[in-house]
Amino acid sequence: MTMEDTNKNQELRRGLSNRHIQLIALGGAIGTGLFLGIGSAAVLAGPSVILGYALAGIIAFFIMRQLGEMVVEEPVSGSFSYFAYKYWGNFAGYISGWNYWVLYILVSMAELTAIGVYVRYWWPEIPLWASSGFFFLAITALNLGSVKLFGEAEFWFAIVKVIAIIAMILFGTYLLLSGTGGAEATVENLVNNGGFFPKGWFEKTDSGYQGLLAVMAIIMFSFGGLELIGITAAEAENPEKNIPKATNQVIYRILIFYIGALIILFSLAPWETITTNTSPFVTVFDNLKGLNFSLFGKEHSVTHLIANALNIIVLTAALSVYNSSVYSNSRMLYGLSEQGNAPKFLKHLSKNAVPIRAIIVSSCFVALCVIINKFVPEQAFNILMSLVVSCLIINWVMISFTHIKFRKVKNQEQVKVKFPSILYPFSNYVSIAFLIAILGVMTLTGMLLSVLLIPVWIGVLGLSYFVIKRSSDRKKTRNKSTNFN
């Protein structure tokens, strides 16, 4: 038996346990959008961003439930690309899969750059490329080992983030209830200084648009990564039980971690004091400025300790996103190869049932992006990041639309699904309408490039599909002709 024959008999192994799935889902709901990105939204909308995160969280949960229904029914590799391929057509599967792959190649590039910046906070003498390169090799090697290694790493990355948020919420609550947060620390800050909607719903000013609707795009993108739970389906132990459990708990986590952290943030100080660089962690612990503590016979500043802790947290968040990107990209490439929408050699699995070639190919593109990022002008990098936004919108819309087609087929077959989504098909149409509305807002709030890139990007994918399909058809014709002769 050849190695190729052996590989044909291999499948992805179900090595992700319940605790892995739970923390992967939790980690996907908590990212740098919470740790660092809230400030820019708060400046433009004030306390009303709390409502914004709640609304966006509900839409994200709807989409997760739609994806969850499909992956529980058919827990296979390729996730939403597989379902688009099966229930919508080969072209839809091609676009969905390659769009997602490119999305997280770009995200990987951004996160590797961020990792290098965070490391330089402690060791500024280390070149950006060196620290980024080190973690590039480390995370890639970890994913080449086994799916359990990925699961364990993501489990502990998520634990760090969860502990940090819980500590921030608890300590912030203590500052509010004990009065030690200062005279300005009060829940009345949520409605003082202009009310809950101090910037209105959507108002144009000399500097641009402001208000709740103006920041909904920023808020929605904070939930990018929740769909990772669908990618794990083919390697999850007991997916019929563990995936529904993890999916259903996302809405509670959003309420606790996002809404809870925001309520604390806006209660501790008037919203006008928030800046675009504000982190809820910095705001909470800023109350301890001037305090010192002794450790090993030396005096240490609490503020300095908090700054180091925050850097550890954001570094962990970036490593978590990059780790997840390496995992999801390789599984998407593997799924595309199974569909025939990617080269067949990418289906090769290692002895640990890891798509080793898919990981290496994806990593090579990420490494190339890091090199490009070092040499090209910043404008090129901004265009790439605009493409991330475009890819994310395409991804979510395709999940909701594919689910409609999936359910129609199941209803025709009179199949009772095991994990039905909420309010089908109403939630699908609401989700799609919400995302289209987000695009409308983006055209007015300085994100027009991301909107314009969507048809351009779909056109590029369509052209590549046409060229590949035509080449494949010609090859099949030549083979038939050769066999006939």
29 vs 81: CA distance, rounded Å: 21
Q: Which two tokens stand for residue 57?
A: 């969280």
pLDDT of residue 404: 96
Q: How far apart are CA 176 and CA 186, in angstroms?
A: 6
At 447 the three-state DSSP class reads: coil
Q: Indicate the SS3 state at residue 326.
A: helix
| Highest mean predicted confidence (pLDDT) among 58-62, 267-271, 282-286, 479-483 | 58-62
Q: Is the Cβ–Cβ distance between 34 and 257 less than 8 Å?
A: yes
Do the Cβ atoms of 47 and 190 come closer than 8 Å? Answer: yes
- Euclidean distance between the first and the last CA atom of the chain, given in angstroms as a whole number: 31
Lowest model confidence (mean pLDDT) among 34-38, 157-161, 250-254, 376-380:
376-380
Predicted confidence (pLDDT) per residue in 301-340, tens digit? 666 677 777 788 888 888 888 888 888 888 889 888 888 8
Amino acid in position 89? G
pLDDT band at 300 (very low <50, low <70, confident <90, very high): low
Burial of 225-257, coded b for 16+ CB within 10 Å and e otherwise, reads bbbbbbbbbbbbeebeebbbebbbebbebbeeb
| Whole-number Cα distances in Å, 103 to 44, 234, 366 | 27, 21, 11
User: Under CATH, what is the fold of the domain 18-107+148-288+377-465?
Assistant: Amino acid/polyamine transporter I (1.20.1740)
| 143 contacts 326 by C-beta, under 8 angstroms | yes
Q: Give the model confidence (pLDDT) of 148-182 as tens digits.
A: 888 888 889 888 888 888 888 888 888 888 877 77
Residue pair 291/276 in contact (Cβ under 8 Å)? The answer is: no
Under 8 Å between Cβ of 97 and 81: yes
40-44 CB contacts, 8 Å cutoff, 24+ apart: 40/215, 40/218, 40/276, 41/215, 41/218, 41/219, 42/265, 42/266, 42/271, 42/274, 42/278, 43/274, 43/275, 43/276, 44/199, 44/210, 44/211, 44/214, 44/215
Average pLDDT over residues 205-212: 84
Read off the pLDDT of residues 43-69 as tens digits, 9 standing for 90 and up. Answer: 888 899 999 989 988 998 899 899 999
* Mean pLDDT along residues 107-136: 82
Reported confidence tier of residue 296, pLDDT bands at 50, 70, 90: low
**What pTM was estimated for this model as a whole?**
0.87
Flag the least confident range among 135-144, 160-169, 248-257: 248-257
pLDDT of amino acid 65: 92
CA-CA distance, 428 to 406, in Å (whole number)? 12
Residue 347's Cβ-count burial label (10 Å; 0-12, 13-18, 19+) is buried
* Better-scored residue on pLDDT, 293 or 441: 441
Answer yes or no: are the C-beta atoms of 396 and 218 closer than 8 Å: no
- Band (241; pLDDT cuts 50, 70, 90): confident
Distance CA 436, CA 433 (A): 5
Number of CB atoms found within 10 A of residue 473's CB: 10
Q: How confident is the model at residue 283 (pLDDT cuts 50, 70, 90)?
A: low
Tokens of 191: 């409605």
Q: What is the mean pLDDT of residues 442-456?
A: 88
The residue ranges of every structural domain in the chain are: 18-107+148-288+377-465
Residue 209 makes CB contacts below 8 A (sequence gap 6+) with 202, 203, 444, 445
Q: Which tops the pLDDT comparison, 383 or 179?
A: 179
Radius of gyration of the chain (CA): 24
pLDDT of residue 108: 84
